[in-house]
Amino acid sequence: MGLFDIFRPVDINEELKNMKTIPGAVLLDVREEDEYKEEHIPNSVNIPLSNLEQIEDMHYTKDTPLFIYCHSGRRSGLAVMRLRELGYTNAKNIGGIIHYKKA
């Protein structure tokens, strides 16, 4: 990774490919329930940012690989910070569904 890689936007489609190679990885949609019902990436779990503490009910280990998306990437970034506060060590913001290309 080079110095300028931090400025390169996250590619949700590439991250989804990467996620499929990681055993036990979870795809987490942090948009509100109505947004999720309207459209979502297959096999994702919906836990809205506003209720993120509900992740504890899912019984994931604190090192579970969590790939997190929202509409544009902003809420998923906030979710990653909140999850780290909750002790989850392997959470990654993969951006927004607006850039998702259905396979």
pTM: 0.90
28 CB burial (10 A radius; 0-12, 13-18, 19+): buried
Does the domain at residues 3-99 carry the CATH identifier 3.40.250.10? yes
Q: What is the pLDDT of residue 9?
A: 73
Higher pLDDT, 6 or 16: 16
Segment 72-81 shows an average pLDDT of: 96
Question: For residues 65 and 90, is the Cβ–Cβ distance under 8 A?
Answer: yes
Per-residue confidence (pLDDT) for residue 17, from 0 to 100? 97
Q: Are strands 45-46 and 26-29 parallel, antiparallel or unpaired?
A: parallel
